[in-house]
Structure 1
């Protein structure tokens, strides 16, 4: 809560407390939900957190040097395993806060985005009068206004962007797409951007060139630039908008990766026996909790259930 004497000081202290909590390595999903509620109270809350986090990250090199000097002195006094483990665990706690294992909880960078969707969540963001962004699961975006129209920065995940007469630009990875009187699906995962034109014509720019992309075509964008446009399976690409995941002759490993984006916890394929199996399937999003059992029944896999929603298939 704000104090009457100095609201800004109280806000900074709250932001500092959140940075410390999220960087402790002990943050839970409940902490993530509470943080999103706190950060969503106002633009000042979000700004205070971003500034505090930036200051915290700027201190990390100095902190690591100080820690290394402390460990060197400790080893000189009494070399042993306890001092090493203490430092390793402290460093690991900060690392886990920013890069959580298996995506089991949100990273700090994810929580600081303007808009964020969690596992299994979809959101709609209105851009002016005739443009919208539909956010799929585990997606992060920032939104800003420009003289020539709105700008969306896709930090991670998947969106469906629809624009009317006023153009909207969207950046993702090393490229961007401009939409006017058109609709596109843009997916940014595993350091690769996939742009699919669903309606009309969109302009895609990347390293070394640009092209006009008409429906129903898609193009991949990577560090090497734009790939060649190709036909797209629009029903499968837009399945999440209808509440389903559709897979047409794709490896089971790819199916599991996509299912994991839409559910809490993690399904893990153990070994290579199952990973390459080709799949033709349709999963309702509201029934993904049974996906591992369906895979077991079809492929004869052994299922091991662990805490935290982790399921092993072997």
Structure 2
């Protein structure tokens, strides 16, 4: 006999969904979720309703709704998937990957630049001392040219990828960062992230300030501000949440109300092969998601189950989503 009424199922379903998006699902949680979904069609239906509410309201609103439904009780710490096929990917896949992988530090440690170029491979992150008083954190698939004068490193050119530059307060010499067709001049003690992908660039300031010079115009970017520019011009300065915008530094990717096509384009930087969305409506669908870098091997399965897509797996890590 089913011991859960409709309210109980709704509460349980929201608990699963809240924990899913936390990015902390374990294999044991995934197995528990599989049993819960398989226990009754009513459970599976309640979870489908919870997912629809989540997508309609967004994580923050759905979480508040869940908390009202639980009358103040803390959400159950369950690992979940977004469909009854959860145990085939997502929560379980992430935990299995974590068990099989040899974990390392967040960044590969380095020292002085090797030659006149710095690179990271797909999925690789690296931190190093680029010059006296200048520290560099490189994200995945990044290519940087090192600028020197008289054998001394004076700056860098981000040709592709993403990096964080930290300038020590004690450094007196300027360190110039070139991004696309712009040049960044920073104050001592400044820290900022730069990104260049698909002919578009962004500057995100963490500390101090960075001044972008482009076409004879100077634009100052201050802490928790981001500036984007491309061939068409420079955009307006926007406020950003640094924990979200630079979550990659903690091996986490966070997407908040972004088109799935943009999410997939970013994820492709972290995994071999390529995920391609062949359905325009699916690509334009706005989503809220959180993935760890350890989940990249199964991220296509996560997206497939979460958003009802159909996946066609091809050799070389290519996946077609429709």
Determine if the TM-score, normalized by the shorter chain, exceeds 0.5. Answer: yes
Q: 1:224 to 1:275 in 2, by over 3 A?
A: closer
- Paired residues of 1:270 and 1:312 also in contact (CA < 8 A): yes
Deviation at 1:255, TM superposition (A): 0.6
Partner Cα separation in structure 2 for residue 233 and residue 299 of structure 1: 26
Deviation at 1:300, TM superposition (A): 1.2
Q: Secondary structure at the match of 2:281?
A: coil
| Among candidates 148, 161, 168, match of residue 165 of structure 2 | 161
Q: Which residue of 2 aligns with 1:151?
A: 155
User: Equivalences for 1:28-67 in 2 at 5 Å?
Assistant: none
Q: Which residue of 1 aligns with 2:283?
A: 275
Q: Secondary structure at the match of 2:176?
A: strand
Partner Cα separation in structure 2 for residue 260 and residue 131 of structure 1: 29
Deviation at 1:126, TM superposition (A): 1.2
Q: Secondary structure at the match of 1:228?
A: coil
Partner Cα separation in structure 2 for residue 296 and residue 212 of structure 1: 41
Partner Cα separation in structure 1 for residue 295 and residue 119 of structure 2: 23
Q: Which residue of 1 aligns with 2:306?
A: 298
- Given the two structures, how large is their TM-score scaled by the length of structure 2? 0.60
RCO (CA 8 Å, sep 6+): is it higher in 1 or 2? 2
1:120 aligns with 2:123: yes
- Equivalences, count: 204
Render the CA deviation track for 1:121-152: whole Å, top value 9, x for unaligned: 11123122321111111110011234897211
- State the Cα RMSD in Å: 1.8
> Where has structure 1 moved over 6 Å in runs of 4 or more?
none
1:176 aligns with 2:180: no
1:257 aligns with 2:299: no
User: Equivalences for 1:1-314 in 2 at 5 Å?
Assistant: 114-146=117-149, 150-164=154-168, 165-166=170-171, 167-179=174-186, 180-314=188-322
Per mean C-alpha deviation after superposition, the further-off stretch among 263-272 and 228-237 is 228-237
Partner Cα separation in structure 2 for residue 151 and residue 308 of structure 1: 37
Partner Cα separation in structure 2 for residue 193 and residue 146 of structure 1: 26
Partner Cα separation in structure 2 for residue 302 and residue 224 of structure 1: 36
Deviation at 1:225, TM superposition (A): 3.7
Q: Secondary structure at the match of 2:272?
A: coil
Deviation at 1:216, TM superposition (A): 0.9
- Given the two structures, how large is their TM-score scaled by the length of structure 1? 0.62
Which structure dedicates a bigger proportion of its chain to helix? 1
Partner Cα separation in structure 2 for residue 294 and residue 269 of structure 1: 14
Q: Secondary structure at the match of 2:279?
A: coil
Partner Cα separation in structure 2 for residue 128 and residue 138 of structure 1: 21
Partner Cα separation in structure 2 for residue 249 and residue 229 of structure 1: 19
Deviation at 1:224, TM superposition (A): 4.0
Partner Cα separation in structure 1 for residue 250 and residue 235 of structure 2: 28
Q: Secondary structure at the match of 2:309?
A: coil
Deviation at 1:266, TM superposition (A): 0.5
Partner Cα separation in structure 2 for residue 155 and residue 172 of structure 1: 7
